Amino acid sequence: MSQPSLTTACAAMLRRDLTLAWRRRGDIAMPVLYALIVTMLFPFALGPEDTLLQRIAGGVVLVTVLLAMLLALDAMFASDIEDGSLEQLVLAPQPLALMLGMKILAHWLTIALPLIVISPLMAALLHLPGPVIPVLLLALLLATPLLSLLGAVLVALTVGTRRSGMLLALMLLPLCVPAVIFAAGAVAAAQQGLPWLAPISWLAAALVLAVVLAPLACAAALRIALDS
Amino acid sequence: MANWIPLWLHRLSSPPTFYRFAGTLLPWAMTLTVLLGAIALYGGLVLAPADYQQGDAYRIIFIHVPSAWMSMFIYAVMGVASFIALVWRIKLAEVVAMESAPIGAAFTFITLVTGSLWGKPMWGTWWTWDARLTSELVLLFLFLGVIGLYRAFEDRRQGARAAAFLAIIGIINVPIVHFSVNWWNTLHQGSTVNVFGHSKMSWDMLWPLLTMTLATKFYYAASLFRRVRTDLLALEGGKDWVRQIAQGEDTP
Amino acid sequence: MNAMQSFLAMGGYAAYVWPAYAVFFIVLIADTIAPRLRRQRLLRELRARFARQSTRQPRAGNGASPTPSSAAIDGERTS
């Protein structure tokens, strides 16, 4: 019996997680609904005045997406730790970092991508000017995988502990500050007609770094958390 | 195993040896803390003249700046100890890293509060989002996160390793936050770019500051020794040397 | 007493300076006391546990039933 190739293994991992998510596709709607509802709250809280909403729109969409992802992060490893398949994965001959990378990708596809798709709607609710929306989308496309990757490392650290979701938020949010700054900065710059490529480039650079390092860190974190 | 570590250092990392070592040094550290602290406070509050621009309000500097330096110093010590704990799995390193976090959090909290109390009369605001303050706030969250993660684990050693990992991630994060907030401040040009520039401090003000800095270092040592000793007792609970101490001491 | 009063007034900034110093002392004193309390509690627990162990079985040699938290991963492990 020959060992499957690395690509086959990756594809299998991805397919497995996507299939599992599809079977619970009701859950996919949750972060989207959450984000829409929270976005709705801001005009109620701050008043419907256009200029104010426009001013905060980019930041609000970004933070709301971030919080929605935070809430969904627990699910990344939850079911796998429960049925023991996560430990199997750690013992498998395939490189753990690569397999975890596929898991993170699946999680991003099922959680973040829907959020990105409805983000123009959220932005429109807050009267973000039309020409800025592509920049918002680009910023989200770069920032959300960054969040997924960072979040995965921290979720791996806490896997199997009895802890509240608040602890994860406490650990993760300080790490997200630079991503939020650059993503929102890009949108704000675009809104003011200033060049926005610099912060986007920083985000892209951070993402590349994270794609390489985070799965490795996630594997190390998982080994620490499961090793007992 | 690393053979280059000097023998005494290796011996020191044995829990009973360190327990005795720390126990001997602890009263000295506390004495030096109180002594140097008292001298520094007298020098700063009584002897030093009022500042030309800031009047007497500047005297907050004698606790604010040493606390800020301590928060950074402890963060560095925690990082080094965490690294050693993760790579070599030395119990003592784990304990030092974990027990540094609450002390670091205390000094960071003091820094933020005293800074705020200094900022209000001087710059008219309790808080500003410049790089230094924001990074200090993120540092506080890092310490709290390490403490929280450590406590979330049933197994202390596993918890220490996980929290050490978080500490190292967080340590990389703080300079990144500093950098990104700097950039963000240039983008949103409204924010105050202030640095309390005391160009050259007069010696009357400098020596109490330096003395207090030294005092806080000894305080950290004392507090750390105290905490580590208790932790070692808890970790090694079943061992003979702990039994001897628990039963031998009438007054703990 | 005027010197004392002017010292306490801190040039008008007393409302800022003294609370700052208060925070400094309160936090550090709390940080000093908390480990001491913990240590006393721990020693009490340890003594109680050792007393239970010695009544339960005659002391044969080394530590009988270690705590779950320390036992599982006792002893230095080199990677």
> How high is the mean pLDDT in each 10-residue block of chain C (79 residues)?
77 87 95 94 88 71 50 42
Please check whether residue A181 lies inside any domain of the structure. yes
Structure tokens at B12: 């020191």
- Please tell me the distance in Å from C74's CA to the nearest CA on chain B: 8
Considering only residues B51 and B224, tell me which one the structure prediction assigns the higher pLDDT.
Answer: B224
| Contacting residues of A for B87, CB less than 8 Å apart | none
Give the DSSP letter of residue B124.
S
Sequence ranges of the domains in chain B: 36-47+58-192+202-235
Q: Which domain holds residue A206?
A: 6-226
The answer to whether B85 touches B97, Cβ cutoff 8 Å, is: yes
In-domain check, residue A195: yes
Distances (CA, A) of A28 to A24, A60, B209: 7, 21, 57
Distance CA B131, CA B178 (A): 5
CA distance B194 to B192: 6
Residue B162 and residue A221: Cβ atoms within 8 Å?
yes
**Do B60 and C20 count as a contact with CB atoms less than 8 A apart?**
yes
The answer to the question of residue A1 being in a domain is no
3-state secondary structure chain A: CCCCCHHHHHHHHHHHHHHHHHHCHHHHHHHHHHHHHHHHHHHHHHCCCHHHHHHHHHHHHHHHHHHHHHHHHCHHHHHHHHHCHHHHHHHCCCCHHHHHHHHHHHHHHHHHHHHHHHHHHHHHHCCCCHHHHHHHHHHHHHHHHHHHHHHHHHHHHHCCCCCCHHHHHHHHHHHHHHHHHHHHHHHHHHHCCCCCHHHHHHHHHHHHHHHHHHHHHHHHHHHHHHCC
pLDDT at B53: 79
Contact B165 A224 (CB under 8 A): yes
Tokens describing residue A82 = 């429960």
Q: What is the pLDDT of residue B6?
A: 73
What is the number of structural domains in chain A? 1
Mark yes or no for CB contact B161/A185 under 8 Å. no
Global ipTM: 0.87
pLDDT of C49 reads: 86
List A residues 209-228 in contact with B (Cβ-Cβ < 8 A): 217, 220-221, 224-225, 227-228
Nearest C-alpha of chain C: how many angstroms from B24? 16
pLDDT for B182 equals 84
Give the angle C11-B46-B124 at the CA atoms, nearest 5°: 35
pLDDT at position A197 is 94
Cα dihedral sign, C43-C49-C55-C59: negative
Alpha-carbon gap: A4 to the closest alpha carbon of chain B (Å): 33
Tens digits of residue pLDDT in B120-173: 888 888 888 888 888 999 999 999 999 999 998 888 899 999 999 999 999 888
pLDDT at residue C37 in the model: 94
Residue B91 to residue C16, Cβ atoms within 8 A:
no
Lowest mean per-residue pLDDT among B11-25, B191-205, C22-36: B191-205
**Full-prediction pTM beyond 0.95?**
no
CA proximity to C31, closest of B82, B67, B151: B67
Nearest residue on chain A to B161, judged by CA atoms?
A: A224
Test A157 with B162 for CB contact under 8 angstroms. Answer: yes
State pLDDT tens for residues B85-110: 999 989 999 999 999 999 999 999 99
pLDDT digits (tens, 9 = 90+) for A56-69: 999 999 999 999 99
> Strands, DSSP E only, in chain B?
none
Chain C positions in Cβ-Cβ contact with residue B243 (cut-off 8 Å): 46, 50, 63
Cα–Cα distance for residue pair A228/A224, rounded to 1 Å: 8
In a domain, A12, yes or no: yes
| Cβ separation A175–B169 shorter than 8 A | yes
**Predicted local confidence at residue B73, as pLDDT:** 95
Q: Is the pLDDT of residue B191 over 50?
A: no
Q: Nearest-CA distance from B186 to chain C in Å?
A: 30
Whether residue A80 lies inside any domain: the answer is yes
The beta-strand segments (E) located in chain A are none
Contact B158 A175 (CB under 8 A): no
Q: Best mutation site among B87, B135, B161, B180 for testing chain A: the one with the most A CBs within 10 Å?
A: B180
**Span A170-190, pLDDT tens digits:** 899 889 999 999 999 999 999
Count of CB atoms situated within 10 Å of the CB of A208: 12
| A128 inside domain | yes
Q: What integer pLDDT is reported at residue B249 of this predicted model?
A: 61
Query: Is residue B199 over pLDDT 70?
Result: no
Chain B residues lying within 8 Å of C28, measured CB to CB: 106, 110, 219
Kindly compute the dihedral angle of the four CA atoms of residues B198, B204, B205, B210, in this order, to the nearest 10 degrees: 120
